[in-house]
Amino acid sequence: MTIQKKTSQRQGFKTGESIVYPAHGVGQIVAIEEQVVAGMKLELFVIDFEKDKMRLKVPVAKAEAVGMRKLSETDFVERALKVVQGRARVKKTMWSRRAQEYDAKINSGDLIQIAEVVRDLYRADSQPEQSYSERQLYEAALGRMARELAAVNEVSETEAVRLIEVNLNKGPKRTAKVDEDGETDAEAEDVVAEEVQAA
């Protein structure tokens, strides 16, 4: 297997550029290499994910198919921040099913879907504690969203988290209302449980 460094741009992506890879979030293209594997030439994006201390090689021809994309535009980031200000929507399904749906949204690479998970799993200080698995999913979604915001706005990840939290706290206070499609606010069950205990 021979490796040679080659070009600096392919498929609209270039060396040094930050990108979003669905399963891992924000990474940086550090090189575009050509490798010969079993007699076939393959062009590969070499992507570093600093947060996970990981390097991934993605065939240039498959980049689009796997959902690799450029960072979101600023107006799209603003839309994602508006999403986290919205009312939490939680389906009345078993937690295991919801957890799978949240996980799929986090790994979709879609900033709006990730923002929905952050919104739906967020707990203000005044609200009941999250379960361990809820907290894990919330932190995974928050981390993904914050890394992309940080890269787009050229701020630290800590500042990006702060920005997201400020927007979360602009959201409506969560009350026990159920809408037409059988969805309830995130806290509905918890509020009812607290009332039962208080009685």
Question: What residue ranges in 61-187 does DSSP mark as E strands?
Answer: 69-70, 90-91, 183-184
Residue 46: per-residue pLDDT: 95
Residue 50: per-residue pLDDT: 86
Residue of 142, 147, 165, 171 whose CA lies nearest to 157: 147
Chain centroid to Cα 191, Å, comes to 28
Reading the block at residue 91, the tokens are: 């389906």
| Cβ density class 39-69: b for 16+ within 10 Å, e for less | eeebbbbbbebeeeeeebebebeebeeeebb
Residue type, 88: A
Reading the block at residue 53, the tokens are: 């201390």
Residue 171: per-residue pLDDT: 83
| Cβ density class 121-156: b for 16+ within 10 Å, e for less | bbbeeeeeebeeebeebbebbbbbbbbbbbbbeeee
Q: What is the DSSP letter of 21?
A: E
Q: Where are the domains of the chain?
A: 2-70, 74-198
> Which CATH number does 2-70 carry?
2.40.10.170
Residue of 138, 61, 152 whose CA lies nearest to 99: 138
According to CATH, the topology of domain 74-198 is: Methane Monooxygenase Hydroxylase; Chain G, domain 1 (1.20.58)
CA dihedral (61, 67, 69, 74) in degrees, to 10, reads: 160
The tens-digit pLDDT sequence of the chain (199 residues) is: 444 555 566 667 999 999 999 999 999 999 999 998 888 899 999 999 988 889 999 999 999 899 999 999 999 999 999 999 999 888 888 999 999 999 999 999 999 999 999 999 998 777 778 889 999 999 999 999 999 999 999 999 999 999 999 999 988 764 434 344 444 444 443 333 333 334 3
Reduce the DSSP state of residue 147 to 3 states and report it. Answer: helix
